Amino acid sequence: MHRRQKPSAPEHKRDLAAHGGALSMSHNDTRSFFNFSQLVLSAGHLKSPPVLKHSKITYFEVEILDVQSKKQICIVDKVSVFFQHAGDVPGSHGASPQWYPSRVGLQLERNGPYLKDSINIQSLAVSSIITLYFTDLGQQVGWTTFFLTEYTGPLLIYLLFYLRLSTIYDQVESMKNFRHPVVHLACFCHCLHYIRHLLETLFVHKFSGGHTPLKNMIKGCAFYWGFTSWIAYYINHPRYTPPSGNHFINVALAHQNHSGSKACFPSPTYNPFTWLFLLVSCPNYTYEVHDFLLLICKE
């Protein structure tokens, strides 16, 4: 019978060390996996990385021609669909320094309407090349400037006539003649009217269109300033006398009798100023013409 040999002391220590090391490694691996699991659970659900979408941007080439000669002014390439306003196409106002966006008029056809600034470039595209016709709209002014200039002029002009400057009226005659209270009332009403317009322009009105041609402002100022000068000259004249007949005619027209659905014109009364109803239906204009001619004759 073979006798089982006992391992020697060194070999026995090596076997114990090997088994102990294996047990130690197995224990450490368990702790590491447990810690990693806790980390994953505390981080929540794992999310897949977002898929990157490759966006394709479309560009257009805009050719700008002169509306009269059809000559090419410039070509603007790589105009993005995200560029919103046709009136501000880059390069449409860069060929000449006096052109600016509000002065540029762009048309899709030579005889077509002007494109609005809010139109989208993509809505004009039939192909990758867009042809626009350029028109110089002339010098432009803002609507706020337009109305402020138009209303400030009559306010200041009327006050100049109200002060009876020596350059307008004879100074000696102005000092002699007494001003009728109607003259002061007319000045107050006139100034109040235009001050209200100026305040509304600054704080009330909002204008959709940003600009208007300068020639329109010149026309408006010529109308307002001219008629204000004409009216103020006669009302503030030293020889001015307030109209009387026109007042009685307006009172008679305001209190006219109504019979059923038909309106009856006023009839002449004991007041001599109403006797013109025998000749015309509304003699208030007749009195205005009469007062105007009378004032001219005094000159």
User: pLDDT tens digits, residue range 176-199?
Assistant: 778 889 899 999 999 999 999 999
Query: What pLDDT is attached to residue 36?
Result: 47
Q: What is the DSSP letter of 285?
A: H
Query: What pLDDT is attached to residue 202?
Result: 94
Query: What pLDDT is attached to residue 71?
Result: 87
Query: What pLDDT is attached to residue 22?
Result: 46
Query: What pLDDT is attached to residue 268?
Result: 78
Residues of the chain with pLDDT under 50: 1-3, 13, 16-19, 21-25, 36, 39-41, 43-44, 46, 52, 54, 82-86, 92, 94-95
Sequence-separated contacts (24+) of 71-74 with Cβ below 8 Å: 73/134
**For residues 115 and 108, is the Cβ–Cβ distance under 8 A?**
yes
d(CA 248, CA 276): 11
Other beta carbons within 10 Å of 73: 18
d(CA 115, CA 102): 12
**For residues 198 and 148, is the Cβ–Cβ distance under 8 A?**
yes
Give which of 104, 108, 101 is closest to 125, Cα–Cα: 108
Query: What pLDDT is attached to residue 24?
Result: 47
Helices assigned H by DSSP within the chain: 9-43, 121-124, 143-162, 171-176, 181-203, 214-235, 245-254, 284-298
